Structure 1
């Protein structure tokens, strides 16, 4: 992939009007290269890794991004990771600053792997991503996940794809 480019995510293939149909083959085994790529940073609360305010936080961030013109459908990803059993961090790709939200940038190379299944598998996926990073020469990699569909859409589509991203 080119610098700061993401795999194509077809937002027009959206029968639910919520989350588009995810095409796993476009994200599988890709290496992403970021250099000062801008993101909105948001945090959610969890109880033993189970998010409790994700819907509220994501709705707020997306509204602020759309209001400021920082949301670009062709440059879409939300990278999420647990900071503890009680808190998670989420990075929303943005094409310009969003005044009402915290901004950050991200640099580095990230290798991807697509998983399918429920959230309860996240620990196993995290371990697989660590193994993949080790194969690429990185120990104790920072691992993020891109949850491609909300629970309602995953139920409708019959698949729950999650992309693992390990920083090399």
Structure 2
């Protein structure tokens, strides 16, 4: 919502709702075939996979602003993915799903078959969840070559909702 103050400066008043309501059944034990699915990418430094929260918040805010300003976010807020991947202990890559090319961003495409599974727990439990996902994939005679994590809620909303849902996306080999 936009309004003007007395000197005609535009003030943007953000909606009080932060994160969309998460429905685990929509994402749990699903298979996706992405063919050049559009994302914008940014990176933040980490220390042994531990990101510095202010850096992530700043990057996510910048990515969201770029996507919003170019009308590139999915119409349904629940379909917007913010994926995290750790290519090393000292770097996290962030991927925000978008509908269009964004001039000011690093645009990439992801292609392949991805299996998703929903977990609820602390950030430090991700390695345990990956083991559980690997066991789930083994039962289906599948193997992951890469993992991406989508956190359903920001820390503030996770506290408010009483759940710290995350969706693991396993990119399958082959």
TM-score normalised per structure 1: 0.85
Cα 1:95–1:124 shift into 2, 3 Å: same
Q: How does 1:53-68 map to 2 (within 5 A)?
A: 53-68=55-70
TM-score, with length taken from structure 2: 0.82
What 5-or-longer segments of structure 2 have no aligned partner?
Answer: 1-14
In terms of mean alpha carbon deviation, does 50-59 or 120-129 score higher? 120-129
Q: How far apart, in 1, do the equivalents of 2:19 and 2:144 lie?
A: 32
What's the counterpart of residue 154 of structure 2? 150
| 1:5-24 equivalent positions in 2, closer than 5 A | 17-24=17-24
Partners of 1:144 and 1:154 in 2: CA distance? 19
Query: For 1:22-74, what per-residue CA distance to the aligned partner results, in whole angstroms no more than 9, with x for missing partners?
Result: 11111111101100111111111212211111101000000011111111143
Between 18-27 and 133-142, the greater mean CA deviation after superposition: 133-142
* 2:88 counterpart SS class: coil
Aligned residues: 154
Q: CA RMSD in A?
A: 1.6
Which residues of structure 1 form unaligned runs of 5+?
A: 1-14
SS in 1 for 2:72: coil
Following superposition, the deviation at residue 136 of structure 1 comes to: 3.6
Q: Secondary structure at the match of 1:137?
A: coil
Matched-pair contact (CA < 8 Å) for 1:148–1:163? yes
Q: Which runs of 4+ in 1 moved over 4 A?
A: none
Please identify the structure whose Cα radius of gyration is greater.
Answer: 2
1:136-157 deviation line (CA, Å, top 9, x unaligned) = 4343521111101011110011
1:55 match: secondary structure: helix
CA deviations over 1:100-156 (Å, ceiling 9, x no partner): 110011111111110001101011112222333333434352111110101111001
* Higher strand fraction (1 or 2): 2
Q: C-alpha separation between the residues in 1 aligned to 2:108 and 2:38?
A: 6
